[in-house]
Structure 1
Amino acid sequence: MVNLESELPLHGCALRYDDSGGDGVPIVFSHGAGADHVMFEAQREHLHAQGHRVVLWDMRGHGSSRPAGTRFTAERATADLLALIEHLALDRPVLVGQSLGGNLSQAVVRRRPDLARALIVIGAAWNTAPLSWQERLLLKAAAPSLAMIPARNLPRLMAETSATSQATRADARRAFSQLPKKEFLQVWRATVDFLTPDPGYLTPVPLCLIRGEHDRTGNIAASMPTWARAEGIDEIVIAGAGHIANQDAPQAVNKAIEAFLHTVSAPKRTR
Structure 2
Amino acid sequence: MVNLPSVLSLQGCDLRYADSGGDGVPLVFSHGAGADHVMFDGQREYFRARGYRVVTWDMRGHGLSRPAGARFTAERAIADLRALIDHLALDRPVLVGQSLGGNLGQAIVRRHPDLARALIVIGATWNTPPLSWKERLLLKAAAPSLSMIPAKDLPRLMAEASAVSEAARADARRAFSRLSKKEFVQVWRATVEFLTPDPGYRTPVPLCLIRGEQDRTGNIATAMPAWAKAEGVEEVVIPGAGHIANQDDPQAVNEAIEEFLRTVSAPKRARRCA
TM-score w.r.t. length of structure 1:
0.97
Distance 2:32 2:185 in 1: 13
For the residue of structure 2 that corresponds to 1:263, the secondary structure is helix
Offset, 1:51: 0.2
Pair 1:187 & 2:213 matched: no
Offset, 1:141: 0.3
Distance 1:20 1:239 in 2: 31
Pair 1:206 & 2:186 matched: no
- 1:150-180 deviation digits (Å, cap 9, x = unpaired): 0000000000000000000000000000011
Equivalent residue for 2:28? 28
Equivalent residue for 2:174? 174
Equivalent residue for 2:13? 13
Contact 2:245/2:253, CA 8 A, preserved across alignment? yes
Equivalent residue for 1:39? 39
Distance 2:15 2:2 in 1: 15
For the residue of structure 2 that corresponds to 1:152, the secondary structure is coil
**Matched length:** 266
Equivalent residue for 1:269? none
Q: Structure 2 matches for 1:48-127, cutoff 5 A?
A: 48-127=48-127
Amino acid at match of 1:108: I
Equivalent residue for 1:197? 197
Amino acid at match of 1:200: G
Over the aligned positions, Cα root-mean-square deviation in angstroms equals: 0.8
- 1:54-101 deviation digits (Å, cap 9, x = unpaired): 000000000000000010000000000000000000000000000000
- 1:166-201 deviation digits (Å, cap 9, x = unpaired): 000000000000011111111000000000000000
Distance 2:230 2:93 in 1: 24
Equivalent residue for 1:157? 157
Distance 1:69 1:223 in 2: 33
Q: Structure 2 stretches of 5 or more lacking a match?
A: 267-274
- 1:215-271 deviation digits (Å, cap 9, x = unpaired): 0000000010000000000000000100000000000000000000000149xxxxx
Q: Structure 1 stretches of 5 or more lacking a match?
A: 267-271
Distance 2:265 2:78 in 1: 26
Equivalent residue for 2:270? none
TM-score w.r.t. length of structure 2:
0.96
Amino acid at match of 1:96: V
Distance 1:12 1:2 in 2: 23
Contact 2:25/2:265, CA 8 A, preserved across alignment? no
Percent sequence identity is: 81
Equivalent residue for 2:219? 219
Amino acid at match of 1:173: R
Q: Which runs of 4+ in 1 moved over 3 A?
A: none
